[in-house]
A and B are shown apart, each in its own frame.
Chain A
Amino acid sequence: MRIISLAMIERFFITIGEYFIFLRKVFSKPDKWSIFFKKLVFEMDTMGIGSMLIVSIVSIAMGSVITTQTAMQIESSWIPTWTVGFVSRTSIVMELCPTIISLLLVGNLGSRITAEIGSMRVTEQIDALEVMGIHPASYLVLPKVIASLIVNPVLIIFSIFFALLGGYVTVILTGMVSMYDFLDGLTYCFRVYDIVYAVVKTFIFAFVMSSVASFYGYKIEGGALELGKASTQGIVVSSFIILILNVLVTQIML
């Protein structure tokens, strides 16, 4: 049992070392800037537009549920009804959208990145790039990382909007609190810092998602079976790191 634990610890530190070596390769100068920008635009389009629908649907549903649950918990007449809007907004802006949507994007975009890079590794396309004298990590991964750093915060802003809209529509349809009280709560003590906090978190989570997913795809050895394992590992590890960083960033920023 002790031997297994030591081996696991050793493997853990080796993987961390490999990850940072990989990052150094990713952040090397692109071989040709014009090609880099072309790929960046392509990745932004694929990631942003491709994820918009799922992000909107999940956000509307999440906003609706959090508003309903908050309203149900606040039954005391001592608590003003605008609290429903206030608590919903705070939960949505500060935690639910940045964290839950980032985890959703790990499953959606992260697995796609691992599968794409992994299949290129398995079919020797990455070797082909290397033989041509192209830095594969920089060529393939850097546009994805930069694209996710740009696109994910934008998606989260949209997500916040749709989640608040979901709550608002729910309030109108159910009449659990008045529309004016809900809007009062939404705007009560609004701080721009809350949005900054959400965007900073998303920015960090986006980096983790894209770099970890790429790392697991890039280091695949073997065939289709390993590709499936790597996709799962990429999702699990990214999600785990995001949850830990969520706690740390919250302690630092709040």
Chain B
Amino acid sequence: MIEVKQVSKFFGDRQVLFDINTTFEEGKVNLIIGRSGSGKTVLMKCLVGLFAPEEGVVLYNERDFHHMNEPEQHKLRAEMGMVFQGSALFDSMTIEENVMFPLDMFTNMSNEEKHERVDFCLHRVDLDDVNRLYPAELSGGMKKRAAIARAIACNPKYLFCDEPNSGLDPKTSLVIDNLIYDITHEFGITTIVNTHDLNSVITIGETISFIYEGHLEWFGDKDGVLVSDNQKLNDFIYAQPLTQRIRKSL
């Protein structure tokens, strides 16, 4: 379980996160939702240690990440996998080399074992026969799936996905959502997903933290999100004509 307690983040004089308190439950898909610029990515970067919050703590099973010494942080990071918004695959490496990279760095597996693991991960995300291709040769959806394969290569305990559906068509988005949900439950991973995709919210959101202008405005699950009486959440969820129609039919 990951607990966020009273986290505030400043960039110079500008405060972007205000006293955030939330919990991401073990073995579930935990969503952070909110409008663009609301502070979702900053919160996620505080969770993975790319940003250090000025106030508050991030606890991984009661271990305070930002006050650990370097070897402890290093050990915890080996338990994390992350899928970035732009995939962040290494351009100079083939897909196989990308997925193998964490195995090269952190395991003492033989070459044969590494190849087996890479094939398993790529097969799991439905990416067969792309081992020798470079990231530039893949479509957006395939890059996202390759990034998921790299993120799960070392059997992480925690999987972070920053806007995994951005730039993808609705059908491919659904494939990515289902993949994230299945992988989370298959391997017992604690998954945190940043998104403003409503389809993700209502299909895979087992816990949902709604961030509004840097404040945690609402916390609940996919069943509660559509019937909440929180005005700011409703403005976000029912912003589009299509969702407004759905609301009327509820």
A72 to B150, CA, bound (A): 65
Chain A nearest CB, measured from B46 CB (Å): 12
| A32 with B80: CB separation less than 8 A | no
- Chain B positions within 8 Å of A32 at CB level: 104-105
| B50 with A132: CB separation less than 8 A | no
| A127 with B88: CB separation less than 8 A | yes
| A125 with B90: CB separation less than 8 A | yes
B43: interface (CB < 8 Å): no
User: Contacts A31-B105, A35-B105, A127-B50 known; A132 to B77 CB distance under 8 Å?
Assistant: yes
Name A128's closest neighbour in chain B (CB-CB): B88
- Chain A positions within 8 Å of B49 at CB level: 130-131
A128 to B73, CA, bound (A): 15
| B105 with A131: CB separation less than 8 A | no
- Chain A positions within 8 Å of B90 at CB level: 120, 125, 128
User: Contacts A35-B104, A125-B91 known; A131 to B86 CB distance under 8 Å?
Assistant: no
B78: interface (CB < 8 Å): yes
Size class of the contact patch on chain A: 10 to 19
A133 to B82, CA, bound (A): 11
| A123 with B86: CB separation less than 8 A | yes
B48: interface (CB < 8 Å): yes
From A123, A125, A130, A134, B105 is in contact (CB under 8 Å) with: A134
A124: interface (CB < 8 Å): yes
| A133 with B74: CB separation less than 8 A | yes
- Chain B positions within 8 Å of A133 at CB level: 73-75, 77-78, 80, 106
- Chain A positions within 8 Å of B48 at CB level: 131
Q: Mark A115-130, 1 if CB is under 8 A from B, else 0.
A: 0000110011101101
- Chain A positions within 8 Å of B21 at CB level: none
Chain B nearest CB, measured from A204 CB (Å): 29
A32 to B84, CA, bound (A): 24
A132 to B48, CA, bound (A): 10
Chain B nearest CB, measured from A125 CB (Å): 5
The residues of A with any CB-CB pair to B shorter than 8 Å are 31-32, 35, 119-120, 123-125, 127-128, 130-134
Pick 23 A–B contacts, CB within 8 A, sort by A. Answer: A31-B105, A35-B105, A123-B86, A123-B91, A124-B84, A124-B85, A124-B86, A124-B88, A125-B89, A125-B91, A127-B50, A127-B84, A127-B88, A130-B49, A130-B50, A131-B48, A131-B49, A132-B82, A132-B106, A133-B73, A133-B74, A133-B75, A133-B78
